[in-house]
């Protein structure tokens, strides 16, 4: 039966470890220039309703490294941009390609696509989740700390797609997470409730200082996600006081790392000093998108 990754919870804890171990192997092979053509002749369609730098490049290079081919499809240039139904597009694409990665505004678009597709579907970011980002993030955390059980994550900023997947991932990893957001920007209550029911130790607070106290992983994201641009001014006002600066970073554990999925907005969610500081792992994190997604494609698409 085909498998999809629409949520980070579409992987079990054991599968997550398997994928990340494969990702580390593939990373080593790439560095040592050892060929790893694990998906020869496979094709990945990449459908984008929104902009992308990392997701597009890493999937496109990733499938090429594995011996396959990517097709970049701007949703606006496809018939779905003119109203063709998702369910028809899903069934047609399933006759041509071996897998589909979609970045969509609505999470339900990806769910519908996956329901009708007969090939694996990967969520390349929706309004609700960004599982590929979190795969890379957990890989990066593993590289720094080894075992993740008992690690404390402090999130300061918007309770958005990246934050949501990070919260859900703690069910799989055993990390603890404290999320500080302004009022009205909390992660969805239903998601937090599900996470808690499934064993996540997630705490929601208002004060960034509380979230970052003794944190091993300090993480944030943009205050103005794609699709919320019209709220930009109101958001910039609401997030005042939530910039991760040196003073906040100093509250974290002495071995803390700073993470950001990028793109970053210096002077808004993070200062230049922090993102350029010695504890910042943002470019390792971006690199690991490539290795983690290659492992994910092998997991989903290898026969
Ligand atoms: N982090 C991330 O998904 O980046 P892009 O929007 O550039 O793909
Ligand atoms: N939360 C951001 C992530 C970008 C990778 C957005 O949705 O725009």
Q: What is the pLDDT of residues 24-72, one digit of tens each?
A: 999 999 999 999 999 999 999 999 999 999 999 999 999 999 999 999 9
Asked whether the predicted pLDDT for residue 195 surpasses 90, the reply is yes
To test the pocket of ligand 1, the residue of 48, 54, 72 to mutate (highest count of ligand atoms within 8 Å of its CB) is 54
pLDDT at 187 over 80: yes
- Determine the pLDDT at residue 48: 98
Q: What is the pLDDT of residue 240?
A: 97
Average pLDDT over the chain, rounded to an integer: 97
CB 223 within 8 A of CB 268: yes
pLDDT at 134 over 90: yes
Shortest-distance ligand to the CA of residue 286 = 1
Question: Which protein residues touch ligand 1 with a CB less than 6 Å away?
Answer: 52-55, 125, 133, 261-262
Residue 147 clears pLDDT 80, i.e. is over it: no
Tally of domains within the chain: 2
Are 149 and 264 in the same domain?
yes
Clarify whether 216 is annotated catalytic.
no
Q: Domain check: are 115 and 158 in the same one?
A: no
Distance CA(182)–CA(170), nearest Å, equals 22
Interval between CA 33 and ligand 2 midpoint (Å): 32
* pLDDT band with cut points at 50, 70 and 90 for residue 81: very high
Residue 130: is its pLDDT beyond 90?
A: yes
Q: Is residue 3 part of a domain?
A: no
Q: Does residue 211 sit in the same domain as residue 151?
A: yes
Tell me the CA distances in angstroms from 201 to 125, 177, 195, one per residue in order: 24, 6, 8
Is 2 inside a domain boundary? Answer: no
234 and 160 in a common domain: yes
pTM assigned to the model: 0.97
Rounded distance between C-alpha atoms, residue 49 and residue 163, angstroms: 21
pLDDT of residue 291: 98
Same domain, 70 and 149: no
Cα of 86 from ligand 1 centre, angstroms = 23
Q: Average pLDDT of 99-105?
A: 98
- Same domain for 267 and 164, yes or no, is yes
Residue 222 CA to ligand 1 centre (angstroms):
11
Given the residues 22, 133, 268, 293, the one annotated as active site: 133
CATH number at residue 142: 3.40.50.1370
Ligand of minimum distance to the alpha carbon of 285: 1
Shortest-distance atom of ligand 2 to CA 55 = 5
Whether 103 sits among the annotated catalytic residues: the reply is yes
Same domain, 50 and 87: yes
* Candidates 4, 22, 65, 103; catalytic one: 103
130 catalytically annotated = yes
Judge whether 266 counts as a catalytic residue.
no
Maximum Cα–Cα distance across the chain? 55
| Sheet of 121-123, strands arranged across | 69-74, 43-48, 99-103, 121-123
Structural domain includes residue 114: yes
Q: What's the domain range around 47?
A: 8-130+288-301
Ligand nearest to the CA of 137: 1
In which element (H, E) is residue 55 found? helix 54-65
Query: What percentage of the chain exceeds 70 in pLDDT?
Result: 100
> Whose C-alpha lies nearest to ligand 2, atom 8?
225
Active site annotation includes 221: yes
Q: Is residue 60 part of a domain?
A: yes
Structure confidence at residue 292 as a pLDDT band (50, 70, 90) = very high
Q: Calculate how far, in angstroms, residue 251's C-alpha sits from the geometric centre of ligand 2.
A: 26
Best of 162, 224, 231 for a ligand 2 pocket test (most atoms within 8 Å of beta carbon): 162
pLDDT at 77 over 90: yes
What is the helix, strand, coil percentage profile of the chain, to 5?
45, 15, 35
Mean pLDDT over residues 251-262, rounded? 98
Cis check for the bond before 263: say yes or no (omega within 30 of 0): yes
Q: Examine the domain organization and report whether 145 and 74 are in the same domain.
A: no
Domain-located, residue 40:
yes
For residue 188, the model assigns a pLDDT of: 98
**115 and 196 belong to one structural domain:** no
> Which run of H or E residues covers position 134?
helix 131-145
Whether residue 83 is found in the same domain as residue 148: no
| 13 & 138 share domain | no
Nearest CA to ligand 1 atom 7: 53
Q: In Å, how far from its chain's centre is CA 257?
A: 17
Band of pLDDT at residue 179, cut at 50, 70 and 90: very high
In a domain, 1, yes or no: no
**What is the DSSP annotation of 223-255?**
SS-TT-GGGHHHHHHHTTT--B-HHHHTTS-TT
Residue nearest to atom 6 of ligand 1 (CA): 52
Do 151 and 272 belong to one domain? yes
Q: Which of 54, 130, 148, 291 is catalytic?
A: 130
Average pLDDT over residues 178-199: 98
Take residue 195 and report the two structure tokens written for it. 């996470």
């Amino acid at each position: 039966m085909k498998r999809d990754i629409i949520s980070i919870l579409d992987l079990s804890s054991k599968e997550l470890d398997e994928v990340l171990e494969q990702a580390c192997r593939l990373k080593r092979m790439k560095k040592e220039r050892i060929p790893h053509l694990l998906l020869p002749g496979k094709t990945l369609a990449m459908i984008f309703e929104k902009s992308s730098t990392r997701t597009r490049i890493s999937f496109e290079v990733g499938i090429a490294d594995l011996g396959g081919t990517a097709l970049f499809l701007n949703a606006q240039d496809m018939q779905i941009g003119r109203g063709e139904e998702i369910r028809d597009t899903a069934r047609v694409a399933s006759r041509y390609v071996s897998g589909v990665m979609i970045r969509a505004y609505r999470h339900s678009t990806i769910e519908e696509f996956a329901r009708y597709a007969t090939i694996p579907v990967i969520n390349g970011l929706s309004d609700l989740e960004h599982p590929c980002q979190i795969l890379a993030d957990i890989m990066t955390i593993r590289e720094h700390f080894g075992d993740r059980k008992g690690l404390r994550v402090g999130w300061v900023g918007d309770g958005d797609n990246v934050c949501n997947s990070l919260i859900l991932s703690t069910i799989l990893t055993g990390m603890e997470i404290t999320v500080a957001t302004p009022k009205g920007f909390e992660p969805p209550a239903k998601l937090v409730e599900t996470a808690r029911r499934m064993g996540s130790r997630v705490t929601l607070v208002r004060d960034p200082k509380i979230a970052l106290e003794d944190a091993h992983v300090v993480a944030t994201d943009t205050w103005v996600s794609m699709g919320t641009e019209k709220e930009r001014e109101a958001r910039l006002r609401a997030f005042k006081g939530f910039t991760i600066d040196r003073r906040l970073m100093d509250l974290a554990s002495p071995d803390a790392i700073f993470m950001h999925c990028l793109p970053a907005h210096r002077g808004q969610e993070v200062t230049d000093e922090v993102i350029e500081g010695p504890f910042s792992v943002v470019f390792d994190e971006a690199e690991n998108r490539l290795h983690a997604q290659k492992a994910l494609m092998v997991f989903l698409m290898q026969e």
